[in-house]
Structure 1
Amino acid sequence: MRHRFIVPSAAAAVLLLAIPASAAGPTPGAPGIGDPYYPEAGNGGYSVSHYDLRLKYQPKTDRLEGTATLLATTTQDLSRFNLDFLLDVSEVLVNGKKAAVGRSGTHELEITPQTPLEKGKSISVVVRYSGTPSQVKVNGFTGWTRTPDGAVAAQEPEGAAWWFPSNDHPRDKATYDISVSVPDDVQAISNGVLASKTSRFGWTRYNWRSTKPQASYLTTLAIGKFDITEDRTAGGLPVISAYSKDLGDNYAPAKASIERTAEIVDWESSVFGPYPFTALGGYVPNVNSHYALETQTRPFYSPAQFANGANTSVVVHELAHQWFGDYVSVNNWRDIWLNEGFATYAQWLWSEKEGEGTAQQLADYVYSQPADSPFWKVKPGDPGADRQFDGAVYNRGAAAIQALRTTVGDQAFFTILKQWPEQHRYGNASIEDFVAFAEKVSGKKLGALFDTWLFTTAKPAVGPGGAQAAGSRAHGLAAPVVKEPKSWKKIQSALAGHHGH
């Protein structure tokens, strides 16, 4: 409809100026949550508290049908809001009433309710949809991987948009109920506890429940033919792991590694504090990728992680993420060191425990890289979106943690490791938050230390053990020979190709 532009009288203009800004009326929610690395990631104007996903998937055709119900609270007066989603949408209801639907950007679903939404109110959003996820690509990429007998959704930093509509950023966590109906000859694996399973008319429905806040990228789905193992920890938590039946020579080493999940979690709990979730396990589908991902409670592992035999190091890494990445998630993706530096350092502590090289030896080995190596050009504290998963974020990032340990001493250091996850439990944090917390616990000023190790594109003059660099070109000395710790290759194998894209 075309509206006439009416010039107000002088008296009316005065009245308009007297109206407070808050009465300006509802406005559209932002198409991004405000992450500098990924401007379209997440959305503004609301916060989701719960997702209920009711899905049906046919592996033969890769056809996915779903109804997603989102419970949310508005954070502004909304005329319209976005969801991140890529499949075909047949209907959207907001508070039970049909809403208008549009598209924008690469994956933005624009929803306009029949009446504007008031700030601070609870809302329900129902989205009915369908599609063939593997055929949907953004910049040549799909977050949905088909397998010989099913499919897998496990990607970072984004992947949810290929199978459910969401506010797709770690800053907006929620709880999940994921119900998946699949043919009887395959199974459906997801996060949390398997609440129930029912079969009828050739289809089996698996109902998975995650009752602790969970980021959208940590939400996973795997459909295929699996051997499933079930157990319980000493504390009674269910341990469910799944192994594709066609892993070949990788089957036995994968199982030998992942079946140690409960043991590793018990050890990590002694270092990082109590395990924060209600279930644990892992799964290995038949995929061609090489990475692993810390999908909450049930990490995803590529078969290639076990191509050289058992690999407990990668299990240590992904389970450490349950504290560093899942329990406490990044505030923005620029804070990725809080995830990867600490998960890598957990591998170093495991190596120390197993007698295969101390954390200091591993840090010294990292530090032995030449000063002119490209390795030192990446800033772990702000690597950029294109270098977010660079090896320096992991290895230089872990060396930074060893430098912290050396500086503050073991007592303060392990207090920091234990209390930090609890400080931001089920929430989000930035690198600046961590630096402030470490200073508070240790009583030391640590800004210069972290600036050097995380934000400088040069090899630090002082190593992670506190010693002055030896073998500098300025002094014309030969670089010292640092022996490779026994665990080094295992750790690097675990990090190879880590994470999706």
Structure 2
Amino acid sequence: MKNTILLTLILFGAMLTRAQLKTRSYIIDPQLAPREHNVDFQHLRLELSFLPAQGLVKGKATHIFTPLRPRVDSIWLDAIRIRFSSVKVNGKDAKFKVSKDSSGYWIFCPQSLAWETKDSMSIMYECNPRRGLYFIGWNDPDNLSRKQIWSQGQGIDNRNWIPMYDEMNDKMTTEMIVKFEKGYKVLSNGTKLSSKEKDGMITWHYKMKHPHAPYLIMLGIGVYDILQTKSKTGVPMYLYYYPEWKDRVEITYKYSEMMMDWFEKEIGIPYPWESYSQIPVQDFMFGAMENTTATLFGDFFLVDDRSFNDRNYVGVNAHELAHQWFGDYVTARSDAHHWLQESFATYYNQMFEREVFGMDYFNWARRTAQVNSIEESKKNKLPVAHSESGSVRHYPKGAFVLNMLKNVLGGREVYNKCIKHYLQQHPYGNVDTEDLLVACEEVTGMELDWFFEEWVYKGGEPAYSVTYKEVNGLTEIIVMQVQELSEVTGLPVQSSVPGNSVSTADFIGLPGESVYRPAGLWKMPIWFEVHYTDGTVDKKLQWIEMQTEVVKIANPSGKKIDYILFDPNNEVMKSVSFAKSWDMLRSQALKAASMLDRFDAVAAMKDIPVRQKRDVLLQVFEKESFHAVKVEIIAQLAADDDDKTIALFKKACSDKETLVRRAVIE
């Protein structure tokens, strides 16, 4: 009996101890770890010819590599439905075996290979790729299509036409030798070493100086002319175009040289490759692809002056150029860190667009990111740093997070210093999210684990409920975090009152519960502004990190409040509920410095009767310069038949902004 009681007490104690352990919880990512491989591929020489009408590739791939194990007897190559005819390892015939699913081959070395040696492997092969390399127009019976061959390797499609280890965690230098009929241009990665004609065929030879990831290997073949230019720092730039569309070149590639100069200055690292080319192709399935030194993009961006207003290449152009640093120069070690490529490219293309289109354009991109991110979180709470998070989180949400990181670090100068250090620490290498965190901490000495924890490694966004009251010469702004608490969002909490303060502890204990559960609060520095009718303003920056906080702003002279802003200019990603009076909305719509704050005030008028808001909206429209606010006003007045509204619609039909004119028509 005593033994039974003792055993029961021991088990109970163990269970209680386990229940109170502090842990961190994350959503499992199947792509967190990089793929295993037993050799380091260092160089690929690819020799190719084609039978385009048959969609046939004839190739010879020669790999130079070094074993990563003390003994290597066999090597795996990704090669989907590629037909090998022979393989040699170090010049000797090697046996090979295709996998049951035709996804690749095992190569059996004639002799065991040892580490710290340099070895070679040559494969003769043919293939008819269904993905990765595309033959466009060669079997068009009406001869209306352009005739092209082009590649799209991301994520792992180059293995459909190149036998290789096709993963981003092993980089190599590459060269490509392509034999093709005269009359066509051929583009690949790196420097064009030669183009030699013989018997109606031209052999093109391209070679990279620095290593890059396999998915970035590219090929583009078609009928093109080339505009050669260069940046102020001398980077050679080759802008491909269709000969009959020469009049579209200037508008399509607008700002290209300026872009290169701006990126080099902003990032602080010179363009890391030998040259930069851009080539349009027909029937491309995406917008563009940042192949190293050679971006390929859909020819729907090759526009004329008129079409430029509806769809232009500027943002995409900047995005792909940014990738030459973020994605090509430093590459994610695994798909779990894909955001390090797309979020950075998105953020830097947004910043460049700010240079040419203005601050309102930049801020509206951030607002759009916020709206889309909140909608995405209704589906799941996947974080930015997760392979399955999707485009909304990898592109615009991650870009918004980087802008918040910049603010937390202290602004542009210190942020740029951190990013420069991050890049310099990993030239032509692989990175993960921790590398970015470490770089920022090394430069600033700041402890930033909390920021990465809530915004990168965990999902969701904060939701705030804001109210205010005037008490004894004070304006008290009450902020409550009202998002659902979750173990995979925000930060943990610990307090005598559940959910009332953030700390470094990992769990919160709830009254009446014998176990602990995580919570999901955010902490962020947020600005508060109280604007008065006399034109003055009081501002206060305060960290909001408790579930309920009261921000006190002194108003000893009792000035009349005109309007109040919580997080002016929407610097923190969030949803907000802040009920404001009609007078406050009117003043904010007419007077707020930030377009986003003016927009929010107008949007909040949606359910107010037209007769009450008409004159204010008309007044705002006359003062406003940005399309988003004007479009919102048009939507709210769409059913109004007042003469003044009709006059505004007529005027809007000739507005300089296409989106405003379109809103009137629709």
**Matches of 2:429 and 2:575, distance apart in 1:** 43
The secondary structure found in structure 2 opposite 1:453 is helix
Counterpart residue identity of residue 106, structure 2: E
Counting aligned pairs with the same residue, the percent is 23
Asked if 1:85 is matched to 2:79, the reply is yes
The secondary structure found in structure 2 opposite 1:65 is strand
Asked if 1:267 is matched to 2:262, the reply is yes
TM-score, length-scaled by structure 2 = 0.61
The equivalent residue for 2:50 is: 57
The equivalent residue for 1:302 is: 298
The 1:376/1:255 distance shift into structure 2, 3 A limit, reads: farther
Residues 337 and 387, structure 2, Cα contact 8 Å, conserved in 1: no
Superposed CA RMSD in Å reads 3.1
Residues 175 and 189, structure 2, Cα contact 8 Å, conserved in 1: no
Range 413-422 or range 264-273, more displaced:
413-422
Residues 376 and 392, structure 2, Cα contact 8 Å, conserved in 1: no
**Matches of 1:58 and 1:276, distance apart in 2:** 35
The equivalent residue for 1:356 is: 358
The secondary structure found in structure 1 opposite 2:293 is coil
Counterpart residue identity of residue 74, structure 1: P
Asked if 1:126 is matched to 2:122, the reply is yes
The secondary structure found in structure 1 opposite 2:291 is coil
Range 198-207 or range 308-317, more displaced:
308-317
Residues 187 and 223, structure 1, Cα contact 8 Å, conserved in 2: yes
Range 204-213 or range 232-241, more displaced:
232-241
The equivalent residue for 2:252 is: 257
The 1:287/1:38 distance shift into structure 2, 3 A limit, reads: farther
The equivalent residue for 1:457 is: 459
Residues 83 and 108, structure 1, Cα contact 8 Å, conserved in 2: yes
Among residues 442, 446, 449, which one is paired with 1:440 in the alignment?
Answer: 442
Asked if 1:145 is matched to 2:134, the reply is yes
Residues 259 and 318, structure 2, Cα contact 8 Å, conserved in 1: yes
**Matches of 1:295 and 1:213, distance apart in 2:** 13
Residues 97 and 106, structure 2, Cα contact 8 Å, conserved in 1: yes
The 1:296/1:113 distance shift into structure 2, 3 A limit, reads: same
Among residues 305, 330, 347, which one is paired with 1:328 in the alignment?
Answer: 330
Per-residue deviation, 1:313: 0.9
**Matches of 1:200 and 1:342, distance apart in 2:** 45
Asked if 1:98 is matched to 2:93, the reply is yes
**Matches of 1:486 and 1:281, distance apart in 2:** 34
Residues 357 and 487, structure 1, Cα contact 8 Å, conserved in 2: no
The secondary structure found in structure 1 opposite 2:206 is strand
The equivalent residue for 2:140 is: none
**Matches of 1:88 and 1:485, distance apart in 2:** 57
Which residues in structure 2 correspond to 1:79-478 (within 5 Å)? Answer: 79-86=73-80, 87-104=82-99, 105=101, 107-134=103-130, 142-148=131-137, 149-244=147-242, 253=248, 256-258=251-253, 260-272=255-267, 273-305=269-301, 308-309=307-308, 310-357=312-359, 359=362, 362-368=365-371, 371=374, 373-374=376-377, 377=380, 379-385=382-388, 387-388=389-390, 390-410=391-411, 411-461=413-463, 466-467=526-527
TM-score, length-scaled by structure 1 = 0.80
**Matches of 1:291 and 1:150, distance apart in 2:** 17
The 1:487/1:38 distance shift into structure 2, 3 A limit, reads: farther
Structure 1 unaligned blocks of 5 or more: 1-34, 135-141, 490-501
Residues 227 and 239, structure 2, Cα contact 8 Å, conserved in 1: yes
Q: Which has the higher contact order (CA 8 A, sep 6+)?
A: 1
Structure 2 unaligned blocks of 5 or more: 1-28, 138-146, 464-521, 528-543, 545-565, 568-573, 586-596, 604-624, 632-666
Q: 1:175-221, CA deviations, whole angstroms, 9 ceiling, x for partnerless residues?
A: 11111001112221111111100011111111111111111111100
**Matches of 2:201 and 2:381, distance apart in 1:** 50
The secondary structure found in structure 2 opposite 1:208 is strand
Per-residue deviation, 1:117: 1.2
Q: 1:76-105, CA deviations, whole angstroms, 9 ceiling, x for partnerless residues?
A: 111111111121110000000000111225
The equivalent residue for 1:26 is: none
Q: 1:113-146, CA deviations, whole angstroms, 9 ceiling, x for partnerless residues?
A: 1111112211000011112223xxxxxxx22222
Q: 1:225-268, CA deviations, whole angstroms, 9 ceiling, x for partnerless residues?
A: 1222223444443322322458x7xx755663336433211110
Residues 185 and 224, structure 2, Cα contact 8 Å, conserved in 1: yes
Among residues 29, 34, 39, which one is paired with 1:46 in the alignment?
Answer: 39
Q: 1:25-54, CA deviations, whole angstroms, 9 ceiling, x for partnerless residues?
A: xxxxxxxxxx94399x96511011111111
**Matches of 1:252 and 1:314, distance apart in 2:** 20
Per-residue deviation, 1:407: 0.5
Counterpart residue identity of residue 159, structure 1: D
**Matches of 1:486 and 1:415, distance apart in 2:** 35
The equivalent residue for 1:9 is: none
